[in-house]
Structure 1
């Protein structure tokens, strides 16, 4: 079997702050939402998808070889300034960056305090200055705008003079596309703001072209150079101007980022059809909004730069450059113009475009033109050969009827991996998305809160399947007694379109009233709860075809064992395919260590019995059980050690499972799980 090549991100962003800086996590979360995959507001269209990790621990080593580019944003407050250990840590990091001499990595110090410049050596770097700003909202806007621009410059890596100098890279430029009749006033305001408040460049109009040069050639060349974005000021007369239309078409054919500012007041005689498939923002008439417009445009430039590097890297890793046509944006009807120009009028072709996958209605339209074209995202590359073998134009058949149990839950050691709950929610959404898109049936237990995972799943099903078939793609939600007694009829009715509820009755011989909620407030009741949860997990295991585990608590649970440990044990016992993703730590990482022959402290009896309530429950449980059913951590550890990697039965090689055990990258995790599931489903 061919050895799996390791995925190396084109860019990684780290956010650092002192553990005593209380607002550090808030800034880190906002940076993650801006550069990563924000799912809180919109799970379908999202931010650039750049991996973002957190660090407030000086014992954490950052490997500069783990990504082509690494950008470190350091939030410097008074706590960091007076902490000599942090001083030394940052100096060592800065010296390592300087020793590379390749300009591929950057540290961006951010002045939270006016004393931030007292740090040794680091003070020689140009700071992103926030300490002079009073408003938290304005601080955040400046931070995100400046950081986005600087990271764009890092990816461009184009020096101002020559590669032999140590001067900073040239600033990103914007091309302001506007109709003079009703767009020049805002265009001038944006140009003036950029020149006075930012390090960006602008290409405005004929006044920026030297005498004697071709107007059309200058515009076309400006649009074609890769550091330019087209900022469209869409006024009432914009679409009626031939030069404006030419600029948009040239930008699209050149794969240049476009952002549209909507300034329409009365209306248009005819809307211009090629202004779609791009970010838009509604102008509210305030000069203060110019910074928002610039930030949105910079984010789109960064998304474009990162996507192109990301796609190039992945097609090289999977050695499919000659088998796919890559797009740096989501495909649209106009994409066929460029595809035919570069590929010829082929009937069979795989088109690779950025995550996330398109909804069913867009795919249906695209495949109506080219029925045998396959439209895939980078995360789907490992299943490329299965997609190419699909005879129908349906994009959703590769894992058809495969029932996958998805267990993703919080773990107490997330931060030691540079992660928090936002990363965990991201993992849940992305795994759910790709399992559903490829036709799998999703089984999970838990979260029915308003705004929780079930609501997210509802939106995914609604987006990726036509209404007439949504009922066939319902999520199976397993609820153990007595927990399901708290699921009201109203909740069940509200979620009926997306969820099949599997209410698992109370254990036999439990001698309880199944209609009354039983609180886990004594050892006898906790034994009943443990048996109920075991029964639910057994029934789910009987129904599923494969199990995926991420994270998981190792303490403060209500079951016989930590939940994900019991699920792993049952799956391995019954020979069900099991995928263990260790990059989020927790119980899953401990199970991995046991499979590898080690003895993780978290899965020892001594560690578990340190919890008095649990210890009392175990004694009560074992006093009434036969030997095969008793709670015995030594037995479980020996079982896992004897099983080993080969027992995972998941369609992946040992090398691929070892990657899955350690990878912190959600796309890499999903890619490997899809690869294993596709192999099992198609054998």
Structure 2
């Protein structure tokens, strides 16, 4: 791995706690457009790393920004609240010059920040001027444009005005009144609203010759194809789409069908498709939706290419890979193959496109280009895959992999600056790739709606269908009394054929009534719970081959100590290979920082636990009297004697790779490193 290289882009959001109630909903909604949808894990959407900075109190500022990417954008939300907060102004002044600040004025007083050193000559985004009826749409549109302008503008120089605008090519059938009408409305909307300086819409009439000028125009544009009833039957509409595909341009297809289309033009697929209503009462919102989709697809398109270039530098994908921002198409492969000489035909044509992978049946047509030379050599062999699927294809032995991932208590992004939904994405991506490689997953979580077990199971169901393997590869290990909860029966029915539930009785030194649920509402009951959880964890970890650990609560748990911490300690004592992911926060981050800094984090001490967990002192006293208390001296000694070299043993990673695994906040990088390590230990003799 090239440690000097960094991912292409990270986006940061900073806002004052007194603005949280009003504006966080808009920030959160916008962020959803930038990240992979956890409810649609196989959708082809943006997945830009995002970091959030605020605090719980006006007297406190967030942790300092970190430089994670080659380009780091900061949306700085300014208002009267930030203006009168001395500590927040001091925080802003300390933002390193490596960050590109985009000031967003939530009210007119925000402009009084303009004299600050790092805001001089900055053009403020005027959020206070947006119409309230379409505020969320403008929020997404305007901030998306800033990402495009500063992150992916394809012009060599960026100046104010049209040179920084997104060039749009409106493709539509002139014979369709509705299509023409929508194209005119889009252009008029751009020309007559406050966003006119952001877009340069070019309407190309089909009567023009498709000459060099038009070709050059399209080469630097994002195409909005307005798909009306007659669109696909028009020659010039087809030519525009074909040229856009040939030039690998971003394309949005706007579905405006009124009645019927007898044939979808084949080239007008494999691109985002947005349906719009013909209801004139909501026309402005529909146009805003089109423009938002256009901007986001342009960003996704360019970001995908930059990210795949980064992966190529890192060695994730073959150096000679041809990069596509969309899954490859037949015409593109034909164009690539036709210019290959005899020696090149003997080489594998590697094609890489963004995650997630398409179904194998959708892309197996690439095998039909393969042939054999008169001397028996294979010609024109093609491999098309996404970064996490293009590597580690060797056959390897199945491992039983224990998963220790749980959420933690948020602090309104004061010290940990990632959204909790990143943990769900991590669970999905990790489970998907491990299950597809036919490993078995062991998770010791309770069965909550929208909990991590459910996300792993939903992913398992998808993977089972994708690879057509009906084997049960997910085990949920439950301690008494969790397995007598009524929800367990529902989970068994819902995930029948996907999930095996392993039940662990309470240990013999406690003797509860097995059939009666015991609420954890007093020290005695909490002690029984803690004994049951420890027993389950020890037996479960013993059955696993290795463990992946991330996040986890520091407080408000039911065991003898934080669950993820206890599973780390047990795994270390059993000498299990551990993949430790500290970049996603929680108590795992405290373990990682303690190992790296050689100084025990307060959260890993008995004193901190007693101060931050009501009733914990009583539980510890009771447990110690019975010989089963949490041993924090052991925790201190074990973590103090652990270093990265020890953790690296038997993981298949080098020390620098493991060190990166411990701190990376990027899901794909963490999963890549885990897969690399698993491949090494699975194929080693």
TM over 0.5: same fold?
Answer: yes
- d(CA) in 1 for partners of 2:139, 2:207: 30
Distance in 1 (alpha carbons) for counterparts of 2:352 and 2:70: 21
Q: Distance in 1 between matches of 2:12 and 2:595?
A: 31
| Corresponding residue for residue 609 of structure 2 | 608
Distance change in 2, residues 1:133/1:154 (3 Å):
closer
Moved more, 105-114 or 6-15: 105-114
> 1:643/1:88 Cα in 2 relative to 1: closer, same or farther (>3 Å)?
closer
* CA distance in 2: counterparts of 1:554 and 1:581, whole angstroms: 16
1:192–1:368: structure 2 CA closer, same or farther, 3 Å change rule?
same
CA displacement at 1:521 relative to structure 2 = 1.9
Inter-CA distance 342–680: structure 2 relative to 1 (3 Å threshold): farther
Return closer, same or farther for 1:258/1:496 CA change in 2, 3 Å cut-off.
Answer: same
1:157 touches 1:169 (CA, 8 Å); kept in 2? no
User: Hey, what's the Cα distance between the residues in 1 that align with 2:604 and 2:522?
Assistant: 24
2:385 to 368, 372, 376: 376
Q: Whole-Å Cα distance in 2 between the matches of residues 561 and 363 of structure 1?
A: 49
SS in 2 for 1:356: coil
Question: CA 1:346/1:80 → structure 2, altered by over 3 Å: closer, same or farther?
Answer: farther
| Residue of structure 1 equivalent to 2:374 | none
User: Which residue is 1:669 aligned to?
Assistant: 670
Alignment of 1:478-627 (within 5 A): 478-486=477-485, 487-596=487-596, 597-610=598-611, 611-625=613-627
* Change in 2 beyond 3 A, CA 1:455/1:341: farther
After superposition, give the CA deviation of every residue in 1:565-624 in whole Å (9 maximum; x if it has no partner). 111112112221101111123221222244444222111222223345222222222222
Alignment correspondent of 1:86: 88
Distance in 1 separating the partners of 2:317 and 2:40:
31
2:472/2:497 contact within 8 Å kept: no
2:49 paired with 1:55: no
My pick for the range that moved more, 462-471 or 48-57, is 462-471
Tell me which residue corresponds to 2:167. Answer: 173
Against the structure 1 CA distance between its residues 555 and 419, is the aligned structure 2 distance closer, same or farther, given a 3 Å change threshold?
same
| Greater mean alpha carbon deviation, residues 304-313 or residues 290-299 | 304-313
3-state SS, counterpart of residue 404 of structure 1 = strand
**CA shift at 1:18, angstroms?**
0.4
Matched residue, 1:106: 100
Instruction: Give the superposition deviation at 1:92.
Output: 5.3
Determine the C-alpha separation between the residues in 2 that align with 1:439 and 1:613: 43
Aligned-residue offset at 1:54:
0.6
Work out the CA distance in 2 between the residues paired with 1:258 and 1:112: 33
Q: CA deviation at 1:321?
A: 5.4
SS in 2 for 1:407: strand
Distance 1:124 1:559, change over 3 A: same
Alignment partners' CA distance in 2, 1:594 and 1:114? 45
Map 1:134-173 to 2 at 5 A: 135=132, 138-157=134-153, 169-173=163-167
Q: CA deviation at 1:564?
A: 0.9
Aligned partner of residue 337 in structure 1, secondary structure:
helix
For this pair of structures, how many residues does the alignment match? 647
1:82-120: CA deviation from partner (whole Å, max 9, x where unpaired): 223333443554xx64xx7xxxx5322222223222223
**Paired residues of 1:174 and 1:203 also in contact (CA < 8 A):** yes
Separation of aligned partners in 1, 2:302 and 2:242: 20
Moved over 6 A (4+): 165-168
Query: Counterpart in 2 of 1:74?
Result: 76
Question: Does residue 185 in structure 1 map to residue 181 in structure 2?
Answer: yes
Once residues 221 and 412 of structure 1 are traced to their aligned partners in structure 2, the CA distance between those partners, rounded to angstroms, is: 53
Partner Cα distance (2:517, 2:338) in 1: 66
Shift of 1:347: 7.1
Is the partner of 2:583 in helix, strand or coil? Answer: helix
Match of 1:359 in 2: 359
**How far does the alpha carbon of each residue in 1:269-296 deviate from its partner, in whole angstroms, 9 at most, with x for none?**
3221122111111120142201100100
Match of 2:251 in 1: 258
**CA distance in 2 between partners of 1:427 and 1:34 (Å):** 18
**Aligned partners of 2:436, 2:211: CA distance in 1, in Å?**
44
Q: Structure 1: how far apart are the matches of 2:345 and 2:593?
A: 52
Cα shift readout 1:111-155 (whole Å, capped 9, x = no counterpart): 2223222223248532222223453x6212112111112221223
SS at match of 1:472: coil
**In the aligned structure 1, how far is the partner of 2:172 from the partner of 2:338?**
29
Which stretch shows the higher mean deviation, 398-407 or 358-367? Answer: 358-367
- Contact kept, 8 Å, 2:206 with 2:236, in 1: the verdict is no
C-alpha contact 2:317 2:352 (8 A) present in aligned 1: no
- Name the residue aligned to 1:439: 438
Change in CA separation of 1:272 and 1:643 when aligned onto 2, cut-off 3 Å? same
Q: Is the 8 A contact 2:152 2:299 kept in 1?
A: no
Question: TM-score normalised to the size of structure 1?
Answer: 0.88
1:375-407, Cα deviation, whole Å (9 max, x unpaired): 3323456xx3x32xx4xxxxxxx5652222222
Q: What is the CA distance between 1:530 and its match in structure 2?
A: 1.0
Consecutive unaligned residues in structure 1, runs of 5 or more: 391-397
User: Structure 1 stretch 143-152 or stretch 117-126: which is displaced more?
Assistant: 117-126
Q: What does residue 340 of structure 1 align with?
A: 337
Change (3 A) 1:462 1:31: same
Q: Distance in 2 between matches of 1:667 and 1:479?
A: 29
Partners in 2 of 1:327 and 1:517 — Cα distance? Answer: 55
1:218 aligns with 213
Deviation at 1:423, TM superposition (A): 2.2
- Determine the C-alpha separation between the residues in 2 that align with 1:467 and 1:9: 30
Q: For 1:73 and 1:420, how far apart are their aligned partners in 2? A: 16
Work out the CA distance in 1 between the residues paired with 2:48 and 2:496: 35
State the distance in 1 between where 2:594 and 2:92 align. Answer: 36
Contact 1:324–1:350 under 8 Å retained in 2: yes
- Matched residues in 2 for 1:541 and 1:235: separation? 59
- Aligned-partner Cα distance in 1 for 2:526–2:406: 21
> 1:364: how far off?
4.8
Shift in Å, 1:366: 4.9
1:10 is matched with 8
Is the 1:130–1:143 contact (alpha carbons within 8 Å) kept by the matching residues of 2?
yes
> Could you say what secondary structure the match of 1:513 adopts?
coil
The structure-2 alpha-carbon separation of the partners of 1:574 and 1:375, relative to structure 1 and needing over 3 Å to count, comes to farther
Shift of 1:646: 3.1
Q: 1:187 to 1:290 in 2, by over 3 A?
A: same
CA apart distance, 1:509 = 3.9
Root mean square deviation of aligned Cα: 2.8
Q: CA deviation at 1:682?
A: 1.1
